[in-house]
Amino acid sequence: MKRGQVWVETVVYTLIAFVIIGAVLAYAKPKIQEMQDKAVIEQSVEIIRKIDSTILNIGEAGNQREVNVEIKKGSLFIDGKNDQIVFEILSKYEYSELDTEFTNLGIKEMTTKSGNLFNVTLRADYSGKKNISYNERDEIFSLTKSSNAYNLLLKNIGDDSGGLTIINFKLN
């Protein structure tokens, strides 16, 4: 009889432990995902700042610089049509005040609600300052999640007919 009782107690205690672990994970997992999304957004802000710094300090026509871009989540857009660099991510983390655009050191930040997630957009706008292009064309090119870093080659091609410096992006 005692052997059977020991096994029953062992099974009951194991089930109680699983229930407790499940309850902790049910609470902790969303918080962990939220913290991971916050880290990805902050990393993306640094990527945009690095690209911005490279654009502003590239120098004379013909100069080129390489920038390594690692994207763990979300998408980075090189928008040659609107002369912008844009990062977008669907996140569990509310990065900034909803539906209000902020400018933080030249980067425009906007958070909107999308169901129970947040759409965070980070944008460096060069309209009227620089002419951004990809493969020497005014088009939109996107970089998405990748296990390897992208090597972007930025080149100062010279000035366009309006006097704006053309910065061309190319995957290297």
Give residue-wise pLDDT tens across range 64-100: 999 999 998 999 999 999 999 999 999 999 999 999 9
Q: What is the pLDDT of residues 111-128, one digit of tens each?
A: 999 999 999 999 999 999
3-state DSSP helix/strand/coil % of the chain, to nearest 5: 30, 40, 30
36 vs 67: CA distance, rounded Å: 24
Confidence band for 2, pLDDT divided at 50, 70 and 90 = low
The pLDDT assigned to 41 comes to 94
Overall residue count recorded for the chain in this entry: 172
The residue type of 76 is L
> Which three-class secondary structure state does DSSP give residue 63?
coil
Residue 2's Cβ-side half-sphere holds a number of Cα atoms within 13 Å equal to 0
Residue 126 contacts residue 55 (beta carbons within 8 Å): yes
Instruction: Spell out the residues 6+ positions from residue 50 whose beta carbon is closer than 8 angstroms to its own.
Output: 67
Give this prediction's pTM. Answer: 0.82
Pairing of strands 130-134, 150-159: unpaired
